Amino acid sequence: MEHSQWDVVILKPTAVFLSFLSAQLPDCELPDLQLLQTDNTAYALCKQDNDEKMVDELEKNYTAMFQHEIARWLGPIVYDPIEFSFLDFLRCFKFAVHSQIVLMEPSIDAGHQLLCVKPRSVWLKSFKSAVGNSTLLRRIVDDANESHLAENATVVIKNFKQLTDIKPFMQNYYEPVLKSELSRMCTDISSLPVVDDFYAFTRYFAVEIHSQLIHLH
């Protein structure tokens, strides 16, 4: 597992992004929001020590990220006349930072796609049930929700020739991916619900596909 040198940032366009493009390009046909929020772009950035430094890193790279998002959806030539600021970037996109990385390619630079493994709500219910009377874990779980557990979710950097390759890959490798995902939640994974087959894994965890990993590090 590689998690010491990079962070992966996944951008999710908001409705403000569409409004921004509509104002800038009133004659351009825009995709709908549901399409924009499917298969979001992931960006590999240098790992930062804290949130403030990550914001600084985003500010250094936001122009390239914003231009890529516009070019991805509208074509490579339309963004030249568009002016935008870092505040526009923050308003137009939600972003999630993931540092828990399972690298399944020879190097991160060789990775151009990734999977993001996130716990489902049923996992949180089982998690709370499994904690029992452990005072420390109970306090952590009581403060947790599905959204919190999904933050910094494990990403698997792996290229696929076709989408049908993903399921057999996960069937073969779900155990090390699961171990990585559980280790970020709790140091004592023996206290967590047992996931002993691929069916249980798919019941507890969702796998999101992101077909574009852009390297900015």
Domain boundaries, the chain: 6-97, 103-209
- Pairwise CA distance, residues 206 & 17, whole Å: 26
Range list of β-strands (E), 69-217: 93-98, 101-103, 114-119, 154-157, 205-210, 213-215
Mean per-residue pLDDT, 200-217: 94
- Which pLDDT value is given to residue 75? 82
Q: Which helix (H) or strand (E) holds 126?
A: helix 121-131
Task: Specify the pTM.
Answer: 0.86
Q: Which of 145, 147, 153, 150 is nearest to 125 (CA)?
A: 145
Which pLDDT tens digit goes with each residue over 101-114? Answer: 999 999 999 999 99
Q: Which residue has the higher pLDDT, 88 or 150?
A: 88
- For residue 1, pLDDT over 50 is answered with no
Query: In the structure, how many helices (H) and strands (E) does the chain have?
Result: 9, 8
Which pLDDT tens digit goes with each residue over 37-89? Answer: 999 999 999 999 888 999 999 999 999 999 999 999 888 766 567 889 999 99
Which pLDDT tens digit goes with each residue over 17-30? Answer: 999 999 988 888 89
- Which pLDDT value is given to residue 135? 53
- For residue 3, pLDDT over 50 is answered with no
* Residue 59, C-beta contacts closer than 8 angstroms, at least 6 positions apart: 86
